Structure 1
Amino acid sequence: MRVELSPSKVEVTVGESVVLSCKVSHDPSLEVAFQWLLNQQPLNFQQEGGHFEYIQRQSSTVDLMIRSILLQHAGKYSCRAQTSADTVFAEAEVLVRGPPGPPGVVIVEEITDTTATLSWSGGVDNHSPISSYSLQARSPFSLGWQTLRTDPEPVTGDMESAMAVDLNPWVDYEFRVVASNAIGTGDPSAPSRGVRTKE
C-alpha cells in the first residue's frame, strides 16, 4: 500500500483556504480507514471552529479542507491510511504567512522636553519580512494610543531604534511599538514604563 499527500509543501496567507489531498493505492479488497493529524496530534474536526473539513472523494482519496486559515494552523499535516494488513503515512508542511507578532520590550533610552528615543527588539515576522514600525504613545491627556511622528520617518523594518518627536513638555507618557509587513499590522508590543518629558 502507498499513500501520497499533495501538495507536500504549501505557503498560504492568513484568511486563505487550502486543500490537502491524500490518495492511497491499495489492494481494493481491503477497507481503508483514514486519519488526519497535525504535528502528530489527531485533528478534532468538531472542536476546531469549522476551520477543518474532511472530504471523502472516492474510497481511495480523502481531502482535508482548511478554511480561513489561522497562524496556529501551520505545521506538519499527516494523512494516515490503515487497512487490516498495514498502516502508512504521508506528510505535508503548511506555512502560514501573517502580520508580524508583537515587538519585544520597548526601552526609553533618552528623553527631552519634546522627544523620546526608543529602542525595541523585533518580534516574529510570520514568513513575511517586517517592512515598517510605528511608534505610539498614550498620556493622561490622550484618548487611548496615538501614533507619533518620528525621526527618521518612516521607521523601516530593519531598525530597532527611533526618536519620537513633537511630544509635549512635562507630560507622563507610555510608549509602544507596532510592526507591519505586506500582509498587515500586528499586535502592539507591551507598553514601556511610564516616563515624563522634561519641562
Structure 2
Amino acid sequence: MTRTIPDHTVDDDDPVLWLRGERAALGPFTRALAQLYWRWENEPEVIAGMGRQTPESLEARLEGYDAQARSMGTIPRFTVHDLTRDDGPLPVGTTALRIDHYVRTAEFVMLLGAAGRGRGLAPDATRLTLDYAFRICQLRSVWLRVLVANTRAVAVYEQAGFRHAGRMRRAGYWYGAEVDELLMDVVADEHLGPAGTSSSASEPSAGV
C-alpha cells in the first residue's frame, strides 16, 4: 500500500517494526524517510522544543543522514510508527540514544511530527526506546534534557519513568525567551517496559 503524508509518499506494504507497544512501534531509521525526517525537524513547534532558532536546508539534512547512518554503533536511531490508525502503521517521528560506551549511559532524544502529536504515542515511544536501551544495550542509565517551558514533554517523560535530576539555569530558548533546562534520568532497575514488564524479566530467547 502506498500512502501520502503531505508532500511525501510512503510505500509501506510491509513496514519493518522491531518493537511494538500498545499505540506506537519502533522501526529502522532509513534514508528513504530522510526527507520526512527533515520536514518534522523544521516544524516550528519542533524547532522551539529543541531550542533552535533557524531551519535546516534539505541538502544539509541529507548529508547529515549519511553521517548519522555511519554512527549507528554509537547513536542507535529509530523511526516511530503510529499503530492507532485504521490504515496501518504510519511513520510519525524519531527517537535516538546517544550512547557513552565507557560509562554505559545514553542521552535520549525524541521528536514527533504534527501527525504524531496529541495521539498518546510519545509515552509509548519513550518506553520502547528505554526498553531497547536497558534490555538490548544493557545500559545503566538514560538521561535527557528538556526546556522547562516545554511542559507537555516534561509530563510525557515523567509518565514514561524519568525522574528530575537537576536544572541548568537560563540554558536555552523557548520561542525567543531565555528559559532553564531540566535534566531528567531513569536507571535500569527502575524501568518498566511498555507492557509493564520489568527490565529484569525473563531472559531473551535469541530470536528462537
User: If the length of structure 1 is used for normalisation, what is the TM-score?
Assistant: 0.25
Give the structure with the higher percent helix: 2
Q: Which has the higher strand share?
A: 1
Q: Which has the larger radius of gyration?
A: 1
